[in-house]
Amino acid sequence: MSDTYTANFTEIHEPGGTFYVDSRAIGTYNTAWLSMRDHQRAVFQLVVGEMQQGATLDMAIQQAQDVLGTGAKVFTPAKAITQLTQAAGDGDDLVIVEVRTEEMDVNGQFDWIRGQVVIAGGAVEMALIPLRLASAYPPVPVTGWTEVVL
C-alpha cells in the first residue's frame, strides 16, 4: 500500500457503484458488485436528505462469490446501519459502514461486495458512495472520478 500522506486521495481510493443524489421511491436499490480481490477495505458512505412522512431507510452490505452475485449473503455479524426513520428526525444524516476483507467469508471464496438500500413508507433523498481502499496495487485507476483536481 502506498504512503497515504504523500499519495493523492484518488490514487488510493477507488469509487464504484455510486448512487448519485436523487429522491428515491419505495423500493430496494443495489450498487454494482465490487471486487475486493485487490483491496483490503471498503467504505460505504450514505448521505440522506429529506424523508417523506412515514419513510424508513435500511442499508446493509452483502458479499458474494462473483460479479453475478452467486451465493449472495449478509455478513456475520451484519454490516448494516440502524434503521433511519422520518419519525425520529433522521433526515439530513451522514452514515458510513466500513468493511475489511478479513470480515468476508474468504474460505467460501466470497470476494465481492455491494451495498443494498431498502426504502419503505415514503420517498427519501439520498446518495450512496462506495469507495474501495488499501489497494494491493496502487495507484488505483481514476476512471471512476468525473474530474480530478490536484
68/130 Cα distance (integer angstroms) = 18
- pTM, two decimals, is 0.90
Specify whether the CB–CB gap between 1 and 12 falls below 8 A: yes
Chain CA centroid to CA 35, Å: 12
Which grid cell sits at 63?
A: 458479499
| DSSP label at residue 9 | H
Cβ atoms of residues 8 and 141 within 8 Å? no
pLDDT of residue 87: 94
139 prior amide bond cis, ω within 30: yes
pLDDT reported for residue 2 = 44
Asked if 128 and 34 count as a contact pair (C-beta separation under 8 A), the reply is no
Identify the segments of the chain with pLDDT beneath 50.
1-2
